[in-house]
Amino acid sequence: MSLQDLDDVILRAKKGGLKALVAVTEGGREFEKVINLSKVYPGFVFPCFGIHPLQGSAQDLHSVKIQDLEPFLPLFQKYKDDIVAVGEIGLDFTPWYAKTTQERDEQIEVFKKQLEISKELHLPVNVHSRSAAKVTIATMKEQGIRQALLHNFAGRPSVAMEGVHAGFCFSFPPAVTRNEQRAKLIKQIPLEHLCLETDSPALGSDKHVRNEPQNIILCCEYIAKVKGVSADRVMEVTTRNAFRLFTKLKV
Ligand SMILES: [Zn+2]
């Protein structure tokens, strides 16, 4: 991504009405990149640190190990005043990535360690879960997590409701508009527990086109349609929810 491209993406996001943009990481090597981004776009791009349950790129994607987290622990401390959340963290038990019990246990270890950091630093968490909805929510509850956003959640509505009762929020990217699978879930989760996300550059409404923050309006319109309320109402409530959850967002 060139600097010009980046500038254009940010400009389009601002024109699209976004007030703030929470930038998550997947690996430790991205930590200083999001800090730099937040310095280039102060008051608009807000950084988070997290080690994703899957590490590496397309061909060598693998289940996370504690060694993927440990070298970066000092950075959480160093930048504790700058980051607004711990994420993206979570569990991904997709069978071909987390084949063994050992791999799944290591994911849980890395997840728990980062949940602990979030408590220590009084920060909310941004959580990924795939094929692991129940364990993810159970782990968070067991660790006493209160402020959490579960992104692109795809578990059963009954499991999502356990999260709602624990006070968690849920966000859905533009990709959910591609099919009706997630409609039942969105219908069930109260609007007071929903936020908007794009997960850009992934999970756009068109698989083959790069997703960007300005597309957040597509999620807003979709949720409005599914819930039978106006897009303005969804925008207003989800914005309020986001500011309640990410308490350090100052715009
Ligand atoms: Zn994710």
Q: How remote is the CA of residue 88 from the centroid of ligand 1, in Å? A: 7
Q: What is the pTM of this model?
A: 0.94
Domain membership flag for residue 78? yes
Indicate the SS3 state at residue 161: helix
Q: Find the helix or strand (DSSP H, E) in which 6 lies.
A: helix 3-15
Q: Find the helix or strand (DSSP H, E) in which 164 lies.
A: helix 157-165
Specify the pLDDT at position 193: 98
Tell me the residues surrounding ligand 1 (ion) with CB < 5 Å: 128
Domain membership flag for residue 251? no
Q: How remote is the CA of residue 196 from the centroid of ligand 1, in Å? A: 14
Q: How remote is the CA of residue 132 from the centroid of ligand 1, in Å? A: 12
- What's the structural domain count of the chain? 1
- Read off the pLDDT of residues 143-186 as tens digits, 9 standing for 90 and up: 999 999 999 999 999 999 999 999 999 999 988 888 788 899 99
Whether pLDDT at 232 is above 80: yes
Residue 249 Cα to chain centre, angstroms = 15
Specify the pLDDT at position 2: 82
Domain with 121, as residue range(s), is: 3-245
Q: How remote is the CA of residue 1 from the centroid of ligand 1, in Å? A: 20
Domain membership flag for residue 250? no
CATH of the domain at 157: 3.20.20.140
Q: How remote is the CA of residue 151 from the centroid of ligand 1, in Å? A: 6
Mean of per-residue pLDDT scores for the chain: 94
- Read off the pLDDT of residues 175-214 as tens digits, 9 standing for 90 and up: 888 878 889 999 999 999 999 999 888 888 888 888 899 9
Range of weakest confidence among 50-64, 163-177, 202-216, 224-238 = 202-216
- Spatial distance between the Cα atoms of 11 and 13, rounded to a whole number of angstroms: 5
